[in-house]
């Protein structure tokens, strides 16, 4: 039987297969898209990451990072006298920062500092909540590590890329450095306001002390500053600063660093600010001289950011004495020179309010301090001139000038008369209502209505002083002018002024080395030489306008005889004297003519004082030294200056010159300096028309030079010569500087000889000598003949000198 297979009905599989295929395709496409998106995201992330990190600094750069540091300058005793900086930052070890300051910093800035890895998400949320509650920014969200990154390497722009870069670098730093190292970086880098970078600089600027000496309350006040240094500055808004301090202390309580009672005690502690946020500069002329050297040698960046330690030869105590001597001497001379009159005159209207506003434009000081202080000098405006007194407005108060006490020095000007005989002027002759004048406060009136004032004026006269230790060349004090704030021109090192007779010792030393002696005779007689053209003649005169005939070298130098010195220069030769001056350290151009004998070529006070140091130092020239040592931030010695002595003349010649210069003080033009009361040698200097006045002098081991003049080279006034104008400054300074030093005499070299000399002839006296004798000094081998000359010998010598004079005149 044939079986017929019965087919089962087929299922509809084609539509299901199609749906499954589409589903697989969709899944595939979605996975592909997601995969591509992820891959694209990864690639984009890598690209973005690479763009963010491509110029991030290496951690090695952070290890070697050199912060901008303060260059500090010290005197020879280690006292800080100046600092140079762009950012005032003084590095301090973490161990030198008190624990409570570290704890306060962590409590306020980053309470989870020791537990996070550079970024603190919990801290961000906490800061957001605190700030929302306070209604203002009370806490920052950045960690201490992020702030270090931002301060050292990144800017403060508010962009996502900067925040991402900051987070990346913060994480890297956390992997590479210990937490304490990061905290140390923060405390040395963060800005505390008023140019204070780092906690040590902040402590010095706000409280005038080191960070290690801060109290808890002081430290908490500083810790609160970095968030908004200007807003919370105790120098600008003490109330806000104290509120911020409370917040810091309460944060310390919350973090368990303080008890509530300890915090309350600190909150009640009064604030004793000693602000010093300006650059230190206690001796501006000296410091500016050194600053220029440092900048030229190392560059401005190293000077202001390198953190050098510069040790000077300066003695701050002597510097203060020098400044005081210059100030008093210049003021006294300027007052002798005459009252300059009002600085200007205000046109007062008579209306009280209008006049008050006008007066305050003059009397209100720039620093805003309206309290009148005894001893200070102020700008004032004359309100009324009365017979008995002159009423003057100063700051927000008034004072009076009493004629007999306050301006008795104002006299009728007459440069041809000695100042003592000038007629005193009355108040009505001197002042007018509205005059703007300078006054000094002598005595305070508690009511502020009648402070006792004295008339002052900004002097036209200037002065400079250099004090040197001859043996080492160390410059112990230098003053370049009356007031650095008024004029930064340093008259001790920059001004080329004619030295006048102060140059003569160089010529006399050259003559002694050429074979002359202290008793050699030169003829003091008129000299006529050709001038600038054929129609002019040069007729030099002695200061006394007299001629003295045969004159010994000692007498000529003692009394500063011009004509003898000119003949002496002519005798030994101008080229020889110029070369001799170079040996003694004179570097300024010297005009090669006979006027060189009268000091017509300008020199600086520094180089002339250094030249005199050769006589004071036994014939050794030691270049002036201002800096003993410079050390960089890593304590590496960059330079060190030891005395570089060079023999330029013999010890015997140096002593003979010292002996001659002692005679100047004992019997000559510098005899007013005998008041020093100890062995001293020196020389005055005065130029034509009293334009320059000098005195240079020394005792064993100490040398000082003084110059006085007016910058535009006008006259100082009649008879204002070296002894009268410069001498008192030298004497005042030297007396005070040597007050506690023992009195010693100059050391006499073994080969120097002393002989009794016939005063008239300069020959060695014998038992038969009838004329006056004197004790004279000679270098070995230059002793005079052992007989007193006859009158025939004297006449022969005079005739010889006369022939020399006529021969020289014909040659001229």
Active site residues: 109, 501
Note the helical H segments in 617-726.
651-667
The CA-atom distances, in angstroms, between 564 and each of 423, 520, 580, 598, 684 are 40, 11, 19, 11, 16
Residue 476, by phi and psi: left (phi above 0), alpha (psi -120 to 50) or beta? alpha
Beta bridge partners of 88: 196
Eight-state DSSP code of residue 345: E
Long-range contacts of the stretch 260-264 (C-beta < 8 A, 24+): 262/216
Three-state DSSP string of 252-321 = HHHCCCCCHHHHHHHHCCCCCCCCCCCCCECCHHHHHHHHHHHHHHHCHHHHHHECCEEEECCCHHHHHH
Query: Would you say the C-alpha torsion 786, 787, 788, 794 has a positive or negative sign?
Result: negative
377, two tokens: 């000098």
Q: Are 673 and 656 in contact (CB under 8 A)?
A: no
Q: Would you report the helix, strand and coil content of the chain in percent, each value rounded to 5?
A: 40, 15, 40
Q: Are 734 and 699 in contact (CB under 8 A)?
A: yes
How far out from the chain centre does Cα 31 lie? Answer: 77
Neighbours of 99 (CB within 10 A): 10
Dihedral angle over CA of 346, 349, 351, 352, nearest 10: 20
Q: How far apart are CA 63 and CA 61, in angstroms?
A: 5
Element (DSSP H or E) covering residue 107? helix 99-109
Three-state DSSP string of 21-70 = HHHHHHHHHHHHHHHHHHHHHHHHHHHHHHHHHCCCCCHHHHHCCCCCEC
Q: How far apart are CA 183 and CA 180, in angstroms?
A: 5
Find, among 282, 290, 288, the residue nearest to 641 by Cα: 290
Long-range contacts of the stretch 288-291 (C-beta < 8 A, 24+): 288/484, 288/488, 288/490, 289/478, 289/480, 289/490, 289/493, 289/626, 290/73, 290/82, 290/626, 290/627, 291/82, 291/84
9, two tokens: 């009905």
Question: Residue 564: exposed, middle, or buried by beta-carbon count in 10 A (0-12, 13-18, 19+)?
Answer: buried
The string of DSSP letters for 584-627 reads TT--S----SGGGGGT-S-B-HHHHHHHHHHHHTTTEE---BSE
Find, among 708, 717, 710, 666, the residue nearest to 689 by Cα: 717
Q: Are 285 and 144 in contact (CB under 8 A)?
A: no
Residue 773, by phi and psi: left (phi above 0), alpha (psi -120 to 50) or beta? beta
Residues 6+ apart with CB under 8 A from 354: none
803, two tokens: 């022939």
Beta bridge partners of 455: 439
Q: How far apart are CA 472 and CA 669, in angstroms?
A: 29
Beta bridge partners of 685: 694
């Amino acid at each position: 039987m044939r079986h017929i297979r019965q087919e089962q009905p087929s299922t509809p599989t084609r539509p299901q297969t199609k749906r499954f295929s589409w589903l697989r395709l969709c899944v595939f496409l979605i996975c592909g898209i997601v995969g591509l998106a992820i891959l694209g995201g990864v690639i984009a992330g890598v690209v973005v990451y690479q763009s963010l990190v491509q110029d991030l600094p290496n951690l090695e750069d952070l290890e070697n990072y050199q912060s901008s540091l303060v260059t500090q300058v010290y005197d020879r005793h280690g006292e800080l006298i100046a600092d140079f900086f762009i950012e005032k930052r003084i590095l301090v070890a973490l161990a030198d920062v008190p624990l409570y300051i570290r704890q306060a910093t962590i409590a306020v800035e980053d309470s989870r500092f020791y537990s996070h890895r550079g970024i603190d998400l919990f801290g961000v949320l906490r800061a957001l909540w605190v700030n929302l509650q306070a209604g203002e920014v009370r806490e920052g969200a950045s960690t201490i590590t992020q702030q270090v990154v931002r301060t050292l390497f990144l800017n403060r722009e508010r962009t996502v890329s900067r925040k991402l870069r900051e987070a990346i670098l913060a994480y890297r730093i956390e992997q590479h450095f210990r937490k304490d190292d990061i905290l140390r970086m923060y405390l040395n880098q963060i800005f505390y306001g008023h140019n204070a970078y780092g906690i040590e600089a902040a402590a010095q600027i706000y409280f005038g002390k080191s960070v290690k000496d801060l109290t808890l309350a002081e430290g908490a006040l500083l810790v609160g500053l970095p968030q908004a240094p200007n807003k919370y500055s105790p120098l600008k808004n003490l109330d806000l600063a104290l509120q911020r301090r409370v917040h810091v202390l309460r944060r310390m309580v919350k973090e368990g660093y303080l008890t509530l009672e300890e915090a309350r005690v600190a909150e009640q502690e009064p604030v004793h600010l000693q602000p010093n946020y300006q650059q230190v500069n206690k001796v501006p002329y000296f410091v500016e001289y050194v600053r220029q050297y440092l900048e030229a040698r190392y560059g401005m960046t190293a000077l202001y950011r390198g953190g050098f330690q510069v040790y000077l030869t300066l003695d701050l105590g002597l510097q203060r004495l020098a400044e005081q001597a210059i100030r008093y001497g210049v003021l006294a001379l300027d007052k002798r020179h005459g009252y300059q009159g009002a600085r200007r005159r205000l046109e007062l209207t008579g209306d009280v309010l209008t006049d008050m506003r006008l007066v305050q434009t003059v009397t209100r000081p720039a620093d805003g301090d309206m309290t009148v202080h005894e001893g200070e000098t102020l700008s004032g405006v004359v309100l009324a001139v009365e017979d008995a007194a002159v009423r003057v407005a100063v700051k927000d108060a008034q004072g009076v000038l009493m004629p007999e006490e306050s301006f008795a020095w104002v006299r009728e000007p007459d440069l041809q008369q000695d100042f003592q005989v000038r007629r005193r002027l009355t108040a009505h002759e001197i002042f007018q209502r509205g005059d703007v004048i300078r006054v000094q406060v002598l005595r305070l009136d508690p009511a502020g209505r009648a402070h006792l004032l004295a008339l002052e004026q900004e002097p036209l006269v200037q002065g400079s002083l250099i004090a040197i230790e001859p043996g080492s060349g160390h410059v112990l004090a230098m003053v370049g002018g009356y007031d650095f704030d008024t004029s930064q021109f340093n008259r001790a090192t920059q001004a080329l002024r004619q030295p006048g007779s102060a140059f003569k010792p160089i010529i006399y030393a050259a003559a002694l080395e050429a074979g002359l002696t202290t008793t050699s005779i030169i003829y003091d007689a008129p000299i006529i030489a050709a001038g600038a053209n054929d129609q002019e003649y040069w007729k030099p005169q002695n200061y006394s306008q007299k001629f003295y005939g045969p004159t010994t070298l000692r007498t000529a130098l003692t009394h500063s005889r011009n004509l003898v010195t000119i003949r002496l220069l002519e005798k030994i030769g101008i080229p020889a004297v110029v070369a001799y001056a170079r040996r003694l350290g004179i570097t300024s151009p010297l005009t090669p003519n006979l006027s060189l004998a009268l000091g017509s070529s300008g020199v600086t006070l520094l180089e002339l004082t250094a030249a005199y140091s050769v006589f004071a130092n036994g014939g050794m020239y030691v270049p002036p030294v201002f800096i003993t040592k410079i050390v960089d931030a890593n304590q590496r010695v960059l330079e060190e200056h030891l005395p570089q002595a060079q023999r330029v003349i013999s010890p015997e010649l140096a002593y003979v010159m010292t002996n001659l210069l002692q005679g100047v003080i004992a019997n000559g033009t510098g005899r007013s300096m005998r008041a020093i009361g100890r062995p001293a040698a020196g020389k005055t200097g005065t130029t034509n028309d009293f334009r320059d006045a000098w005195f240079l002098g020394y005792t064993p081991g100490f040398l000082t030079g003084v110059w006085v003049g007016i910058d535009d080279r006008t006259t100082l006034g009649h008879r204002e010569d070296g002894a009268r104008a410069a001498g008192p400054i030298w004497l005042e300074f030297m007396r005070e500087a040597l007050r506690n030093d023992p009195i010693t005499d100059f050391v006499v070299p073994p080969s120097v000889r002393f002989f009794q000399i016939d005063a008239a002839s300069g020959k060695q006296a014998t038992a038969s000598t009838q004329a006056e004798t004197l004790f004279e000094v000679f270098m070995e081998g230059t002793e005079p003949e052992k007989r007193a000359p006859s009158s025939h010998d004297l006449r022969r010598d005079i005739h010889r000198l006369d022939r020399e004079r006529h021969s020289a005149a014909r040659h001229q």
